[in-house]
Amino acid sequence: MGTALVGLLGPIVGGIAVALTTYWSTRPKARAEARKFEAEADRTRAETTKILAEIDMRRPSVAPQDTTPKGWGVSGSVPEDYEVGLDFEVFSAGRASAFIRSRHEHPAGYASLLQMIRADDYRGTRLQMTAMVKARDVVGWAGIWMRVDDARDHTVAFDNMQDPERRIAGSVRWRRYSIALDIPETGAYINFGAVMERTGQIWLDDVRLNVVDDSVSATDIVSNLPRHPVNLDFEGGTY
């Protein structure tokens, strides 16, 4: 019986020994595989976060409220410091205009009223945006703006009238403003709207997008940037 028991236990003990040997010999490999899986998971999470962030960049940063004009969105650095809505008493044409105004005396950043469309029908053209704008007590600056992004959300054309010679400030009666951008073949999305920084209020009305010819100058900040640096030794004086 002892011999039989030994014969029975022999394979079991041997199997356990093989299992333990395999466990201890493969444990470092298993740990390495686990670390590899964790690294892959981290990369996947990071890529997912990046994708979601890129998607969010193309969406308004604030969900539309009851006061947001239909078809438009609200964005900006601190849009909660501003109010956006419709005005049925102050307008240039029709029966209403949109407005952006500061909520208190010390708003931070800026707010923008915007709309985004596909660039398919405008590639290879010069697109002009015009709009009637009225301003009251704008302390910072305001303007209309248009931006063209490619499929990877890289900006390929942009203008927002921030230049001191073109920006809207103080109080201004209704006036038509315009900007024009060349829409490249790589353009995927066209964003446009109005922006205001700091205190005051602007009204926006009668927005138009029209394809124009070369007689209308492009106002693109990106393409109009200098090709080469200047006055690097500061010996060129001042403006």
List the domain boundaries for the chain: 1-57, 73-212
- Digitized pLDDT (tens) for each residue of the chain, 239 residues in all: 444 444 444 444 445 444 445 555 555 555 555 565 555 555 545 544 444 333 333 444 454 556 889 999 999 888 889 999 999 999 999 999 999 999 988 888 899 999 999 999 999 999 999 999 999 999 999 999 999 999 999 999 999 999 999 999 999 999 999 999 999 999 999 999 999 999 999 999 999 999 999 999 999 998 777 888 988 889 888 86
CA-to-CA distance for 144 and 175, rounded, in angstroms?
12
Q: What is the pLDDT of residue 150?
A: 96
Flag whether the pTM goes above 0.75.
no
Q: What is the pLDDT of residue 204?
A: 98
Q: What is the pLDDT of residue 180?
A: 98
Q: What is the pLDDT of residue 28?
A: 55
Spatial CB neighbours of 114, under 8 Å, sequence gap ≥ 6: 60, 72, 73, 74, 75, 191, 192, 193
Q: What is the pLDDT of residue 237?
A: 81
DSSP code string of 43-112:
HHHHHHHHHHHHHHHTS-SB---TTSPTT-EEEESSGGGEEEEEESSS-SSTT-EEEEEESSSS--SEEE
Q: What is the pLDDT of residue 50?
A: 43
Question: Counting Cβ atoms within 10 Å, is residue 140 exposed (0-12), middle (13-18) or buried (19+)?
Answer: middle
Q: What is the pLDDT of residue 30?
A: 52
Spatial CB neighbours of 130, under 8 Å, sequence gap ≥ 6: 176, 177, 178, 207, 208, 210
CATH H-level, domain 73-212: superfamily: Galactose-binding domain-like (2.60.120.260)
Q: What is the pLDDT of residue 44?
A: 47
Say if CB 97 and CB 203 are below 8 A apart. Answer: yes
Q: What is the pLDDT of residue 80?
A: 87
Q: What is the pLDDT of residue 238?
A: 81
DSSP-derived secondary structure letter, 224: T
- A 10 A CB-CB count for 204 gives 26
**CA nearest neighbour of 75 among 125, 24, 147:** 147
CA-to-CA distance for 20 and 92, rounded, in angstroms?
85
- A 10 A CB-CB count for 70 gives 6
